[in-house]
Amino acid sequence: MTVELRAFYLPFIFISFIIGYQMSFYFLYDYYRHRERKIELNKILLYYGIFFGLSITGCLFDIINDFYITNIFIKDIFARMVYLLVLIASVLILYHMSSKVYKEIIHPTLTKILIFMNIFPFISIFIFNPATTEFHFAIIFISIDFLFFLVFQLNLIRLSSGIIKKRLKIIFLGALIILSAIIIGFIPVSDLETQIQNPIIAIPFITTLSLGLIILLLGALRFPVFLEFFWKQNLISLFIINRKTLKKLYSYNFTSYTEDMDNSKKTLININESIKLISHGMIGIIEIFTAVAETKDKKIKQIKQGGFSILLEYGEDPISNIFFILLAKGEMDSNKYFLTNIKNQFQWMYKHVIPILEFLDGSSTERIFSSFDTIMKNILKMN
């Protein structure tokens, strides 16, 4: 590589790495921002951040080794570090993928077998000389790991919906482009050198890498809470009640909610099941208020009734007299987050209306709160 091309090329590649570290940081930040929700799937943001961060560091070590280090002993150490970092990144993301929460996507046993197979490349990078062909045996396993990750990502997209689905598609596209860049630039051609030093390869490599990292960064920015798979199918009904008058301010029937998936309308849950459930008295709204009234100091957050769950949230000043009640099938942490989100949106939208409810007639009240339907549909589309 000529001095002129090198002077042009290296600043751009280091800028690309800065973008990559920003992307990794945003994944870690999004995990930190949502960690109090205690939803298991959000851990994927943590592992995305670590995975891409370590992989980019491995690529950075390779660039430093190719262009700045001349001592054979140090070059040997850096060559080993490149593979070691990328292998650690691969094993960590595979470890997360082996969690039971992803059993709908990929069998955990298959992932564990792949983790075990990565023992062999770990051994090879320590016992073989980086200048030998055997040392680069690890590339085969790294390639398998990355392909496995892309298949996992595709299945994750298939089971997701709303904004999450769109963001995962962006991340998949970015990862695919970066993988192409790695194949172009980092496959060894002789001894400890890679194709990246070839002027013909350098420009396409940096262009492809930068594009992939920018796309990944767009996918990572403000990543929403990753709720559990099929959480919407658990929802039955929502009630927002005035605690003083025991009158319903707003209700939403999730059994009639439909979502466009693969250009077809799919009902999330049979409407007759909800009607049958309530009409037979399995869940009585009066029981909820009775239970709450008996606990003066401690606020009840959940009531179990048969195979169903009743989640409760309480309004905060100036609407502390409002109950938020969610009826759901089974227990999911996602349902708790969903109800809290509804409470926050409702409080923000009607905080000036609730204090003057007693001065409004029934038709005015119904008309005012019916506008919350739009907010509900937007919340449902987010995940």
User: Per residue in 41-59, pLDDT tens?
Assistant: 888 889 999 998 998 898 8
Distance between CA atoms of residues 218 and 226, nearest Å: 17
Provide the phi-psi class of 294: left if phi over 0, else alpha when psi is between -120 and 50, else beta.
alpha
Q: Is the pLDDT of residue 343 over 50?
A: yes
Q: Are 334 and 231 in contact (CB under 8 A)?
A: yes
Amino acid at 236: I
Residue 280 has a pLDDT of 44
DSSP 300: P
Examine the pLDDT at 243 and tell me if it is beyond 80: no
Token couple for 142: 């790294």
One of 1.10.287, 1.10.1060, 3.40.50, 3.30.450 is the CATH number of 231-382, namely 3.30.450
Confidence at residue 268, expressed as pLDDT on a 0 to 100 scale: 39
* Tokens standing for residue 269: 């849950």
Instruction: Please state the separation of Cα 319 from the chain's center in Å.
Output: 33
Question: Count of CB atoms within 10 A of residue 275's CB?
Answer: 13
Q: Predicted confidence band at 254 (pLDDT cuts at 50, 70, 90)?
A: confident
What number is the average pLDDT over the span 227-241? 83
Comparing 260 with 284, the larger pLDDT belongs to 284
Is residue 309 within 8 Å of residue 281, measured between CB atoms? no
**How many other C-beta atoms are found inside a 10 Å radius of the C-beta of residue 304?**
9
Label each residue of 142-183 as H, E or C.
HHHHHHHHHHHHHHHHHHCCHHHHHHHHHHHHHHHHHHHHHH
Angle at 27 between CA 21 and CA 29, to 5 degrees: 100
Q: Can you read off the two tokens belonging to residue 364?
A: 């005015």
CA dihedral 166, 207, 23, 151 (to 10 degrees): 50
Phi-psi region at 222: left, alpha or beta (left = phi > 0; alpha = psi -120 to 50): left
Cβ distance 64 to 81 under 8 Å? Answer: no
Kindly tell me if the per-residue pLDDT of 342 is higher than 70: yes
| Structure-token match 């094993």, residue found | 91
pLDDT of amino acid 40: 77
Instruction: Please check the confidence at residue 317 and state whether its pLDDT lies above 80.
Output: no
Residue 339 has pLDDT above 70, yes or no: yes
For residue 108, pLDDT beyond 90: no
SS3 371: coil
Which pLDDT does position 83 carry in this prediction? 86
pLDDT at 362 (0 to 100): 60
> What does the pLDDT read at residue 13?
80
The residue-averaged pLDDT of 180-201 equals 57
Q: CA 307, 274, 276, 309: dihedral to nearest 10 degrees?
A: 20
Whole-Å CA distances, 323 to 273, 291, 294: 24, 13, 15
Length of the chain, in residues: 383
pLDDT digit string, tens, across residues 144-166: 888 888 889 999 888 887 788 88
Q: Where are the domains of the chain?
A: 3-220, 231-382
Burial group, residue 258, by CB count within 10 angstroms (0-12, 13-18, 19+)? exposed
Query: What's residue 8's pLDDT?
Result: 67
Greatest mean pLDDT range, 29-33, 138-142, 352-356? 29-33
On the question of pLDDT at 186 being above 60, the answer is no
Name the least confident of 135-139, 189-193, 255-259. Answer: 189-193
pLDDT band at residue 169 using 50, 70 and 90 as cut-offs: very high
pLDDT of residue 92: 92
Rounded CA-CA distance 327/287 in Å is 13
